[in-house]
Chain A
């Protein structure tokens, strides 16, 4: 079992090592994809093997994998595989078009693998200090991806991303310190004081004043990484400027890693302070994010920014669901995490293909995708309806669960507000994406869009395959949730009740 945990982290590094060893970008891409599939297989195996057993522990508490970790490992490694496959085609097309040099492509694969491995590592540690170290390191690795293109706008986005996220994560470190302070009355072995299972078991004995401060600082700090408003300002720029597969990783993997950190703090806070204080904090940040995300989705413009604001909205929904609480709310929160991750990966990966073919990131410059490239246009349409929560896709099910959890609570005003916001989001988002997919093809797209920007059959396949597989998975999750998944989610949320 411990070996599986190490394999999960080592998998994505295959691409890093190959690229650092001087291989060509394409080979590094295939190595990364192979590594990512090993990681996904190991994550599924670990999830199944761990289902009815005690958490995996090792390295004096630094390694700790329970059901919650397994669930997030599954989500992140699935996204990593989709993005790693998508990277092969996207990067080779960028290189062929002369937009990126061979050196930049190699840098991309080096940092892509590092980024994925650091995120997976942060999901496997039980030490909250090490959690900070790994999340901050993953920020730095992904900042390199955001600034990869080296244009003024991407450097600006990378700067904004790295400075805001570093400040945020540093605030989370201050929160971790206060958690440490709150445990100082316990007089126990020092290396245990930052260990999550230990803190969770002794949550009732923690000093409440510093625990409250610790939770608040952790939500603000890691919330910066999650993209909770008002700390979300880095997110649209970074998502719009990063190469599309890297945007998929940011939106579908990085944000969830931040949410995982918040959930770890939430579990301790709920056990130590009672449910009321964490509930209010999460509902405030959650609703603020949904509102901000929806409002900015109304503006038409860069479609990658549109997807990014949709991520702010969905992270808000997950925070609201955690705030609603109860079995339904928590179950919905985790299910929504997985569904949103896959849907957003599909959308960003198809946006990569659109950027390649139309040469623009402005929604107004793209029309008639369905006529020119039916697969991408269809994926864009289906993906956006999926992300907006239409049946029969998985997000419909998870959003329904969350709203039901809201109505089970004290006041029906909050779930009603959520429904209203979801409706506005639907109109704003679908207006833009249906406009892109239908209509007369825009001139540039009609002229050159049909020609494949990818070199060779294998590369064009890597642009289509992850999108199709992702959509199929969303469809399956909307119709049937595997028993193992239900069990792992139920086990995961048991720490939050």
Chain B
């Protein structure tokens, strides 16, 4: 029953604290990714973030005692935590011999400061007082908004296609973190559909990135000058 569940996951319960903690770690990993310059690290931080995300899903599954949530947690671990990072490492980073990302449009410190500003902004617009009462783990909502904004910032700052792909995946993780706080009431079919979309999206993006790289010497989006306006 959703009514009973919402009370069992108040901010002070152990599950609530663990969820908040997982949210903070996910935000820190998004910052780590934003502050890095190595392709290897991008993928590693994304993988770590997804593992923490699956832990958060597991906490929610335990707290709400629902099997679909366990399936979701396992799928997050297998696909986002393991399969996507491994595929990105094998198919993109190793095969294209990517090491240092040179296609940054601002310095690292500037983007970190911008990231700090966005995090503050996220808290400003979604602080728990503004959200309706009775919302499960309301403290996670600003965290997930901040992760979404940081991922979008990474996509803007980085012009390399692989880095942009990772940025989108971080945005997706942020949305997923927000969904977990409600997951007891979020329809499973929709969650599963979102998951499928992400997997299909990553596949089709891998095809485009490797196709592009075969045609251009390097798949840096900043070199995509042919199409303008």
Enumerate chain A interface residues (CB-CB to B < 8 A): 62, 127, 129-130, 132-133, 136-137, 140, 143-144, 147, 150-153, 155-160, 162-163, 166-167, 170-171, 173-174, 177, 180-182, 184-185, 187, 189-191, 193-194, 207, 209-210, 213, 236-237, 240-241, 296, 299, 305
Contact = CB atoms under 8 A, between A and B. Distances in A.
Interface of B is mostly: helix
A194 B155 CA distance: 29
A152 B215 contact: yes
Given A155-B208, A193-B185, A163 B165 contact: yes
A169 to B, nearest CB: 9
Contacts of B112: none
Contacts, number: 145
A190 B187 contact: yes
Contact of A236 (B141, B155, B229): B229
Interface string B126-158: 100011111110000100010010001001000
B222 to A, nearest CB: 12
A130 B182 contact: no
B133 A185 contact: yes
23 contacts: A129-B187, A133-B197, A143-B208, A147-B211, A150-B211, A155-B208, A155-B212, A159-B209, A159-B221, A162-B201, A171-B148, A174-B148, A177-B182, A181-B131, A181-B132, A184-B136, A184-B185, A190-B2, A190-B185, A194-B187, A209-B130, A236-B229, A296-B229
Given A156-B227, A163-B165, A174 B175 contact: yes
Nearest to A136: B197
Contacts of A296: 229
A127 B187 CA distance: 10
A132 B221 CA distance: 27
B208 A185 contact: no
A167 B155 contact: yes
Nearest to A151: B215
A210 B178 contact: no
A166 B201 contact: yes
B113 interface: no
Interface residues of B, number: 52
A301 to B, nearest CB: 8
Interface stretch (B29-37, B49-57, B92-100, B188-196): B188-196
B205 to A, nearest CB: 6
A170 B227 contact: no
Contacts of B111: none
Given A152-B226, A153-B227, A140 B164 contact: no
Interface of B: 2-3, 125-126, 130-136, 141, 145, 148, 152, 155, 161, 164-165, 168, 171-172, 174-175, 178-179, 182, 184-187, 189-190, 193-194, 196-197, 200-201, 204-205, 208-209, 211-212, 215-216, 221, 224, 226-227, 229
B139 to A, nearest CB: 13
Contacts of B212: 152, 155-156, 159
B200 A158 contact: no
Contact of A181 (B141, B172, B208): B141
B197 A180 contact: no
Contact of A162 (B148, B194, B208): B208
A122 to B, nearest CB: 11
A181 B227 contact: no
Instruction: Please list the 9 inter-chain residue pairs (A to B) with the smallest Cβ-Cβ separation, ordered nearest first.
Output: A129-B190, A133-B193, A190-B185, A207-B132, A152-B215, A185-B132, A209-B130, A136-B197, A237-B227
B99 to A, nearest CB: 22
Nearest to A233: B229
B125 A147 contact: no
A133 B194 contact: yes
Nearest to A133: B193
A163 to B, nearest CB: 6
A476 B147 CA distance: 52
Nearest to A210: B131
Contacts of A130: 189-190, 193
Contacts of A147: 208, 211
- Chain A CB within 10 Å, residue with most, of B133, B136, B171, B211: B211
A191 B182 contact: no
Contacts of B132: 181-182, 184-185, 207, 210
B184 A190 contact: yes
Contact of B179 (A166, A177, A213): A177
